[in-house]
Amino acid sequence: MSVNNRDPLVVGGVIGDVLERFTRSIDLRVTYGQREVTNGLDIRPSQIINKPRVEIGGEDLRNFYTLVMVDPDVPSPSNPHLREYLHWLVTDIPATTGTNFGNEIVSYESPRPTSGIHRLVLVLFRQLGRQTVYEPGWRPQFNTREFAALYNLGLPVAAVYFNCQRDNGCGGRRT
């Protein structure tokens, strides 16, 4: 199913700020503890200290996938001049398995936004082959589009995002 204008990824600006339009073709299931991440869900940093469980679909075990997790709203959504911050990068994930079976080339760093409500985006790409992706070397000012172009990853096959603000944030509402 391709992304339409009411799709949360479009409404939330993920398509545009981070990704191009794409067609979902692989299942992507991200779970922090007991909570499955659905688009736009509000999660606090204390709930995402440890890496989530990520399970992917697909059918052919010979296909390998890369998972990227970025924050495009650094240091704050109103002034995101450090866009994007790379939180996690796992490659060589075989279809039907999960990140535990992949190669964690950039370790999971738990998000700790200080200012504003940040989007945290998880994107799945299909690799052309195995071990064809290398670590970028730094986390801030990562560019998912360029990264995908560099390694011929093409358009995403799946993506999901959630919202995160600091633990004692007011939810964007002045009281």
Partner 1 sequence: MLSSAKHKINHSDFSISSSTSSSLSHSLSQAKNMTQVTMEEEWKEINLASLHQHRQLNIDHEPVLSNQNPNKSIFQDFLNKPLNQEPPPSSSSTHHGSLLAPPATVISLNTHSIDTHFDESAMFGCFGKKRGQDSDDSRGDRRHKRMTKNRESAARSRARKQERAYTNELELEIVHLQKENARLKRQEEQMQLKKAEATQHQTKKILQWSLTSPF
| Nearest-approach distance from CB 93 to partner 1, in angstroms | 26
Question: Which has the closest alpha carbon to 89: 136, 44, 47?
Answer: 136
CA separation, residue 79 to residues 19, 87, 118, 145, 166 (Å): 19, 19, 11, 20, 17
- Of residues 13 and 57, the one with the C-beta less far from partner 1: 13
- Of residues 12 and 52, the one with the C-beta less far from partner 1: 12
Number of residues that bind partner 1 (CB under 8 A): 20
- Of residues 58 and 75, the one with the C-beta less far from partner 1: 75
Residues 94 to 123: which contact partner 1 by CB under 8 A? 115, 117
Question: Which has the closest alpha carbon to 24: 57, 61, 55, 54?
Answer: 57
Compute the distance between CA of residue 20 and CA of residue 155 in angstroms, rounded to an integer.
7
Q: Hey, how many other C-beta atoms are within 10 angstroms of the C-beta on 157?
A: 23
Residues 73 to 92: which contact partner 1 by CB under 8 A? 75-79, 81-82
Binding region for partner 1 (CB under 8 A): 6, 8, 11-13, 38-40, 75-79, 81-82, 115, 117, 141, 163, 172
